[in-house]
Amino acid sequence: MTDVAIIGLGPVGLSLAQAAKKALPGAEVVGFDPDRERAQRARDSGILDAVKDRLAPALEGASLVVLDVALSEAEPALESIGKLAPPSCIVTDTCSLKRPVLDWAAMFLPPTMGFVGGHLVLDQSPGAGEITTAGATYCLVCGPDTPPEAIRVVVALASAAGAEPLFMNADEHDSFVLATSYLSQIANAAAIDAVVRSPVWRDIQNLKANAFNLGAASSASDVDQLSLGDIATLGVDNLGSVISWIDRLQHELSSIKDSLVRGVEAGEMVDFDTINQERIELLTQRSGSGPKPERPGVRGLLLGEWLNDRAKQRRGAKRP
């Protein structure tokens, strides 16, 4: 093991670059990121031995490739790694969902490459600054034919990062991640759609510019201080209003569920980050303050042509 390639130079990628230096003394650790700002920050950090301007030179001679990119970028990245990296190298990733990544790895990587799926579970969300990997859980997902040497190397990488390796089945891992990280996003998107798609949305916007109090601290006077028992004491009229909104929420959740089923059958990608960002942009704009913002519904964001077009644009711009 002489060379390590870190593809994706965000906080997690840089942390694993440091771990690689500990796990593989004497190894040359190089990196690549198509985002010029991240690449420059990585150069300035001094963590890497070199930051390459193109993917091919970064992969040349690599014995270990660590892929730290968004799930939406993992498929084309793995395809490029399969074509450009040495056929005997070990490959691992950091994506939060493992089943699709394992499927792409099986599709694009030659059988001589050992692939180990990885997911570093942090206590904090990785932003632009440094992160702490000490004490984190490092989920490892392997296929039945994963070479023992590949597993040993990635376990050593996880341990060098100060994380605790945890072997999991891909489907079990993804189920747990969806429950803890994505279910609330789906419910939040449905709640926003239930209100925004209602006939009284324009009137609701008169309450405040930020109708859902996004990013603002809640005060003692806000309704989110009420318990369910408190709501039941508000009177029949108010209780009926709450039930009406719950009915709308159930309708939106049912629609999302149906869309997800159709999307899985069609093999389409779900982009939760886009869902959240679009709703934040929507809710911070008041009606009548300018041109009506583009507002695809949650079903369009999940499965429609709008999302597919956006995904194609991102791939075209970021393909290694």
CATH of the domain at 98: 3.40.50.720
The DSSP H or E segment spanning 284 is none
Query: Measured between alpha carbons, how far is 153 from 23 in angstroms, rounded to an integer?
Result: 8
What is the pLDDT at residue 210? 54
- The mean pLDDT of 239-258, rounded to a whole number, is 78
Crossing angle for the helix pair 305-318 and 71-84, to the nearest 10 degrees: 40
Q: Based on the fold, state whether residues 14 and 160 are members of the same structural domain.
A: yes
Mean pLDDT, the chain, whole residue set: 79
pLDDT at 303 exceeding the cut of 50: no
pLDDT digits (tens, 9 = 90+) for 181-229: 777 777 877 887 788 778 888 887 776 555 565 544 444 334 334 444 4
- Give the model's confidence band at 257: pLDDT under 50 very low, under 70 low, under 90 confident, else very high: confident
Q: Which domain holds residue 94?
A: 3-168
Q: Collapsing DSSP states into helix, strand and coil, what is residue 67? A: strand
Q: Based on the fold, state whether residues 11 and 127 are members of the same structural domain.
A: yes
Final residue of a structural domain among 107, 139, 168: 168
Final residue of a structural domain among 153, 168, 183: 168
pLDDT at 77 exceeding the cut of 60: yes
What is the pLDDT at residue 223? 39
Nearest partner of 97 among 121, 114, 123, 113, judged by Cα: 121
- The mean pLDDT of 5-26, rounded to a whole number, is 94
- Give the model's confidence band at 287: pLDDT under 50 very low, under 70 low, under 90 confident, else very high: very low
Q: Based on the fold, state whether residues 266 and 159 are members of the same structural domain.
A: no
Query: Measured between alpha carbons, how far is 90 from 314 in angstroms, rounded to an integer?
Result: 27
Q: Based on the fold, state whether residues 183 and 278 are members of the same structural domain.
A: yes
Residue 290: left (phi > 0), alpha (psi -120 to 50), or beta? left
What is the pLDDT at residue 292? 44
Sequence-ordered alpha helix ranges (H) in 85-182: 99-108, 148-160, 170-177
- Give the model's confidence band at 305: pLDDT under 50 very low, under 70 low, under 90 confident, else very high: very low
Tokens representing 77? 């990245």
pLDDT digits (tens, 9 = 90+) for 37-49: 999 999 999 999 9
Q: Based on the fold, state whether residues 193 and 272 are members of the same structural domain.
A: yes
Q: Give percent helix, percent strand, percent coil of the chain, each to the nearest 5.
A: 50, 10, 35
Q: Collapsing DSSP states into helix, strand and coil, what is residue 3? A: strand
Query: Measured between alpha carbons, how far is 94 from 11 in angstroms, rounded to an integer?
Result: 12
pLDDT at 167 exceeding the cut of 90: yes
Query: Measured between alpha carbons, how far is 88 from 108 in angstroms, rounded to an integer?
Result: 14
What is the pLDDT at residue 4? 97
Single-letter residue type at 271? D
Q: Based on the fold, state whether residues 204 and 66 are members of the same structural domain.
A: no
pLDDT at 82 exceeding the cut of 80: yes
Query: Measured between alpha carbons, how far is 35 from 41 in angstroms, rounded to an integer?
Result: 10
What is the pLDDT at residue 216? 46
- Give the model's confidence band at 72: pLDDT under 50 very low, under 70 low, under 90 confident, else very high: confident
What is the pLDDT at residue 270? 65
Q: Based on the fold, state whether residues 303 and 196 are members of the same structural domain.
A: yes
pLDDT at 125 exceeding the cut of 50: yes
Query: What totals of helices (H) and strands (E) does the chain contain, helices first?
Result: 14, 8
Q: How many domains does the chain have?
A: 2
Q: Based on the fold, state whether residues 47 and 162 are members of the same structural domain.
A: yes
Q: Based on the fold, state whether residues 35 and 150 are members of the same structural domain.
A: yes
Final residue of a structural domain among 117, 134, 168: 168
pLDDT at 285 exceeding the cut of 80: no
- Give the model's confidence band at 102: pLDDT under 50 very low, under 70 low, under 90 confident, else very high: very high
Q: Based on the fold, state whether residues 9 and 50 are members of the same structural domain.
A: yes
DSSP letter, residue 6: E
- The mean pLDDT of 5-30, rounded to a whole number, is 94
The DSSP H or E segment spanning 141 is strand 137-142
Q: Based on the fold, state whether residues 208 and 156 are members of the same structural domain.
A: no
pLDDT: which is higher, 9 or 123: 9
* Lowest-confidence region among 123-132, 156-165, 169-178, 199-208: 123-132
Q: Based on the fold, state whether residues 159 and 183 are members of the same structural domain.
A: no
What is the pLDDT at residue 203? 83
Contacts 24+ apart (CB under 8 A), 151-154: 151/114, 151/116, 153/1, 153/23, 153/64, 153/90, 154/90, 154/92, 154/116, 154/118
With pLDDT > 90 as the criterion, what percentage of the chain qualifies?
45
Contacts of 314 (CB under 8 A, 6+ apart): 72, 73
